[in-house]
Structure 1
Amino acid sequence: MIPPRQVTFGLLGITVFISLICLHLLTELSQLDGARQKLERAVVRLQEEKLPMSSRHLSSSNDQEGAEFGDDDSVVIYNRVPKTGSTTLAGIMYSLCNTNKYFVIHIGMFHSAKTISLSDQMRFLHNITTWQEKKPALYHGHIAFIDYSKFGVKRKPIFINMVRDPLARLISFYYFTRNGDDIRPSRERQKDRTMETFDECVERDGDDCDPVNLWLQIPYFCGHIAECWIPGSEWALNKAKQNVLRHYLLVGLTEEMEDFITVLEAVLPRFFKGALTLYKNGNSHLRKTAQKLPPKPETISKIHESPIWQMENDFYEFVRDHFHYIKDQLFETDEFGRSVERGHRFQYEKIRPS
């Protein structure tokens, strides 16, 4: 006869064994349920992939469903070049921030400075990459490119920007400092500016229309290096081009604002989902300089003789060609005139271990 004590221990062992088996089965069932949910989501995505191209336009994107503040640590920097339509794009950013659940933060520059000290650069990059309470975030301001690669930041920010035809940008700035725009029609700076036209200024070789004032987009992309701000520097031109290719996710054109916003929405939906619809519906305001007169042909010819204009125009055309390449790789136009993505050109396969 088996002693009662041994029977008790035997039953206890069997109970523990059965409990462990049940716990294991519950864990397996939980994992299977999670796998089932993932499979269902994958099937939905595959079904969407098989939709005709005309059905996969930007407004149908659902990439942002369930997005919340703090759900990722992405940081985008838009170092705005003055008079390139940046107020319009910034307005779109602010309009979408609550819907798309991100923060927008303006970088205020003292005394209209375009660069900051080395220590300020270090503090700025440290702040934006470690300020977890304000992520994801989109920073914007009139500041030259900062080469983050030499500061040892763990998470590299994403840079975007726009450029404009250099002469058109200078003319816009010339009249803006005199007449303001449709948002701010009066400017304090009018008091110390002559009210002559841009043509008259060029004819008398005035300071405000001097081609040296064209030297702005190149140094903005060249960055915080002394050589960048020397008008006519070939080194600065080449450095600006290199930075566009190496450090900027996307640089668009003022003259092709709608296309730029279309590409932004496709590439950065976390921030720009809904931007194209907002822009087309007129909910963003494109600022227009007041009383801006088109230049005469002889004025244009005289400006075009300047080596500085030629270099700034070289940079502008370089950015334009690069933007067109990106856009054409990404989109085609359907029968309704909508921009639709061309679809994925890669897939994952031969995954081991399975």
Structure 2
Amino acid sequence: MGLLRIMMPPKFQLLALLAFAVAMLFLENQIQKLEESRGKLERAIARHEVREIEQRHTLDGSREMPLDESEDVVVIYNRVPKTASTSFTNLAYDLCGKNKYHVLHINTTKNNPVMSLQDQVRFVRNVTSWREMKPAFYHGHVSFLDFSKFGVKRKPIYINVIRDPIERLVSYYYFLRFGDDYRPGLRRRKQGDKKTFDECVSAGGSDCAAEKLWLQIPFFCGHYSECWNVGSRWALEQAKYNLVNEYLLVGVTEELEDFVMILEAALPRYFRGATELYRTGKKSHLRKTSEKKPPTKESIAKLQQSDIWKMESEFYEFALEQFQFVRAHAVREKDGELYILAQNFFYEKIYPKMN
């Protein structure tokens, strides 16, 4: 190319560059169309599989017996992006065969965490009545959905993991530009942008603005409009309420192994063997963001001036305190190792006496 540039007149050099640019745009457009076609095909196949299962369910409905209580259980992990959710979800995939449950990924269009009202109804109906898939572990980037609003008798068990807000934002910033080691060949939305997170903060860029921190609160707050109003105090309080009242357990990325250990003790039907798998398995620390550079103290200080960061930080600290409270009553440390406490309640003075 360099030799051609020397030999060609400037006019032809410009034409050659324009032709090259047009060719690259055409190729990118074709790649985009192929990816969209693949997505449509995957969704069509998924819909076909669902229809087949629902048809079998309809045909066999008259012969069905009620599910055993231990089987009529659904866990929903409405995972927040960039909180080690891929690593944790892969534990569920690795264990589902041995522990005999189904794992289903909730794939929303353009990863939109808010469902339409009609999709909320469909989702609630699927989760509660799709007996062929029970017991089930659902996971996806969707905000909390209150099943009690739909009049169901048996609500799912919610779990989740959150992360320090600034660390999560930094990880997501570089993920959009450089991807990760999970799918290294996949082209990301901001690929080619070499600007560091610090440079973005210094320039007042939109990708690193404090508003981008507003994510973990709305994921826990749910499908109310106020949840997605950036900086809403009501959304923060609703997220806290849901965390305490609607979630079985919420862990933190920084203490993920402890989260896995407590889940195994609380829900062995799903997580039996999870702790050992997390410690020894190859999938325990997947999806490390490439080219990630820690932010400077100046960048952190600038973000921490925002009321949005203060709210997200308050929510994170609230979740961390609650998790540590649960952990303190569930595990003990001995010789540097944590172990789960045995059952410490029993029944006595049972009347009337049995003969």
Label 1:96 to 1:192 Cα distance change in 2 as closer, same or farther (>3 A).
closer
Which residue does the alignment assign to 1:319? 319
Tell me, yes or no, if structure 1 residue 351 matches structure 2 residue 351.
yes
Structure 2 Cα separation of the partners of residues 294 and 248 of structure 1: 32
Name structure 2 gaps, 5 residues minimum. 1-66
- Please, which moves more after superposition, 202-211 or 278-287? 278-287
Equivalent residues of 1:332, 1:342 under 8 A apart: no
* Residue identity opposite 1:73 in structure 2: D
Equivalent residues of 1:70, 1:132 under 8 A apart: no
Which residue does the alignment assign to 2:239? 240
Equivalent residues of 1:70, 1:135 under 8 A apart: no
SS, match of residue 250 in structure 1 = strand
Label 1:151 to 1:190 Cα distance change in 2 as closer, same or farther (>3 A).
closer
Structure 2 Cα separation of the partners of residues 252 and 186 of structure 1: 31
1:50-70 CA deviation, whole Å, 9 max, x = no partner? xxxxxxxxxxxxxxxxxx999
Which residue does the alignment assign to 1:274? 273
Label 1:245 to 1:190 Cα distance change in 2 as closer, same or farther (>3 A).
closer
CA deviation after TM superposition for structure 1 residue 338, in Å: 3.4
Which residue does the alignment assign to 1:298? 298
Structure 1 Cα separation of the partners of residues 153 and 192 of structure 2: 47
SS, match of residue 338 in structure 1 = strand
SS, match of residue 294 in structure 2 = coil
1:310-333 CA deviation, whole Å, 9 max, x = no partner? 100000000000000001111112
Which residue does the alignment assign to 1:30? none
Superposition RMSD on alpha carbons, in Å?
1.8
Structure 1 Cα separation of the partners of residues 94 and 336 of structure 2: 27
- Please, which moves more after superposition, 184-193 or 336-345? 184-193
Normalised to the residue count of structure 2, the TM-score between the two structures is: 0.78
Which residue does the alignment assign to 2:309? 309
* Residue identity opposite 2:172 in structure 1: F
Structure 2 Cα separation of the partners of residues 69 and 345 of structure 1: 26
Label 1:191 to 1:238 Cα distance change in 2 as closer, same or farther (>3 A).
closer
SS, match of residue 350 in structure 2 = coil
Name structure 1 gaps, 5 residues minimum. 1-67
Q: Matches of residues 219-230 of structure 1 in structure 2 within 5 Å?
A: 219-230=218-229
SS, match of residue 303 in structure 2 = helix
Tell me, yes or no, if structure 1 residue 86 matches structure 2 residue 85.
yes
Structure 2 Cα separation of the partners of residues 295 and 126 of structure 1: 45
Tell me, yes or no, if structure 1 residue 288 matches structure 2 residue 288.
yes
* Residue identity opposite 1:92 in structure 2: L
1:267-308 CA deviation, whole Å, 9 max, x = no partner? 111000100000100332422100100001101110110110
Label 1:120 to 1:204 Cα distance change in 2 as closer, same or farther (>3 A).
same
CA deviation after TM superposition for structure 1 residue 92, in Å: 0.2
The total of aligned residue pairs comes to 287
CA deviation after TM superposition for structure 1 residue 178, in Å: 0.3
Structure 2 Cα separation of the partners of residues 188 and 339 of structure 1: 42
Equivalent residues of 1:222, 1:239 under 8 A apart: yes
Equivalent residues of 1:70, 1:134 under 8 A apart: no
1:90-128 CA deviation, whole Å, 9 max, x = no partner? 100000001101111111111121110122111111111
CA deviation after TM superposition for structure 1 residue 190, in Å: 4.8
1:228-253 CA deviation, whole Å, 9 max, x = no partner? 00010000000000000110000000
Q: Matches of residues 111-260 of structure 1 in structure 2 within 5 Å?
A: 111-190=110-189, 194-260=193-259
Which residue does the alignment assign to 1:109? 108
Equivalent residues of 2:331, 2:338 under 8 A apart: no
1:202-257 CA deviation, whole Å, 9 max, x = no partner? 00000100110000000000000000000100000000000001100000000001
Label 1:193 to 1:170 Cα distance change in 2 as closer, same or farther (>3 A).
farther
SS, match of residue 315 in structure 2 = helix
Highest RCO, 1 vs 2 (Cα 8 Å, sep ≥ 6): 1
Structure 2 Cα separation of the partners of residues 186 and 305 of structure 1: 37
Label 1:79 to 1:190 Cα distance change in 2 as closer, same or farther (>3 A).
closer
Structure 2 Cα separation of the partners of residues 169 and 101 of structure 1: 33
CA deviation after TM superposition for structure 1 residue 347, in Å: 2.4
SS, match of residue 97 in structure 2 = helix
Label 1:333 to 1:350 Cα distance change in 2 as closer, same or farther (>3 A).
same
Label 1:336 to 1:254 Cα distance change in 2 as closer, same or farther (>3 A).
closer
CA deviation after TM superposition for structure 1 residue 348, in Å: 4.8
Structure 2 Cα separation of the partners of residues 71 and 298 of structure 1: 52
Normalised to the residue count of structure 1, the TM-score between the two structures is: 0.78
